Chains A and B, each alone.
Chain A
Amino acid sequence: MLETAVFVVFALLAVGSALVVVLHRNPVYSTMSLVVTLVAIAALFVMLGAPFIASLQVLIYTGAIVVLFLFVVMLLNIGREEASQRGLPQKVAAGLGSLALLGFLAAAYLRLYGGAAQAPLSEDFVSMRTLALELFTDYLLTFELVGLLLLVAVIAATVLAGKPKDPPEPDGKRPEEVA
Chain B
Amino acid sequence: MIFDLIATSAKLLVFLGVFLGAITPLMVWVERRFSALIQDRPGPNRLGPLGLLQPVADVLKFMFKEDVTPTSADRFLYLLAPVLAVLPALTTFVFIPFGPTVEVAGRQVALVVSGADAGVLLLLAIASLGVYSLVLAGYASNNKYTLLGGIRASAQLISYELAMTLAVVAVLLPVGSFHLGDVVAYQQAHAWNVLLQPLGFFLFLIAMFAETNRLPFDLPEAESELVGGFHTEYSAMRFAAFFMSEYIAMTTLSALAATLYFGGWDLFGYTERIATALAGVVGAEWFWMGAVGMAVLTTKAMAFMLLFVWVRWTFPRFRYDQLMRLGWKVLLPLALANTVLVAILILSGVL
Contact = CB atoms under 8 A, between A and B. Distances in A.
A63 interface: yes
Contacts of A51: 116-118, 122
Contacts of B135: 67, 70-71, 74
Question: Which of A29, A55, A56, A71 counts the most B-chain CB atoms under 10 A from its CB?
Answer: A55
A32 B78 CA distance: 13
B121 A55 contact: yes
B20 to A, nearest CB: 24
Contacts of B126: 58
Given A28-B139, A63-B131, A67-B132, A74 B150 contact: yes
A54 B118 CA distance: 9
Interface string A122-161: 0010011000000000000000000000000000000000
B154 interface: yes
Contact of B125 (A28, A58, A75): A58
A74 B136 CA distance: 10
Given A28-B139, A70-B135, A127-B117, A58 B154 contact: no
A29 B129 CA distance: 16
Interface residues of B, number: 28
Interface in B97-144: 116-118, 121-122, 124-126, 128-129, 131-132, 135-136, 138-139
A42 to B, nearest CB: 8
A127 B176 CA distance: 13
Contact of B121 (A59, A62, A67, A68): A59
Given A74-B139, A75-B151, 15 more contacts: A52-B118, A55-B118, A55-B125, A56-B121, A58-B122, A58-B125, A59-B121, A59-B165, A63-B131, A63-B161, A67-B132, A67-B154, A70-B132, A74-B138, A124-B117
Contacts of B255: none
Nearest to B126: A58
A52 B77 CA distance: 31
Report the 5 A-B pairs with minimum CB-CB distance, sorted nearest first.
A63-B128, A58-B125, A59-B125, A55-B118, A71-B154
Q: Is the interface of A mostly helix, strand, loop or mixed?
A: helix
A71 B136 CA distance: 10
A71 B121 contact: no
Given A70-B135, A74-B150, A64 B128 contact: yes
B158 interface: yes
A74 B124 contact: no
Interface string B148-161: 00110011011001
A71 B126 CA distance: 19
A104 to B, nearest CB: 32
Nearest to A70: B135
Nearest to A63: B128
A35 interface: yes
Nearest to B124: A59
A70 B117 contact: no
Nearest to A124: B117
A28 B77 contact: yes
B158 A64 contact: yes
Contacts of A124: 117
B147 interface: yes
A49 to B, nearest CB: 10
Contacts of B129: 35, 58, 62-63
Given A35-B132, A68-B154, A71-B151, A63 B117 contact: no
A89 to B, nearest CB: 34
Contacts of B154: 67-68, 70-71, 74
B178 interface: yes
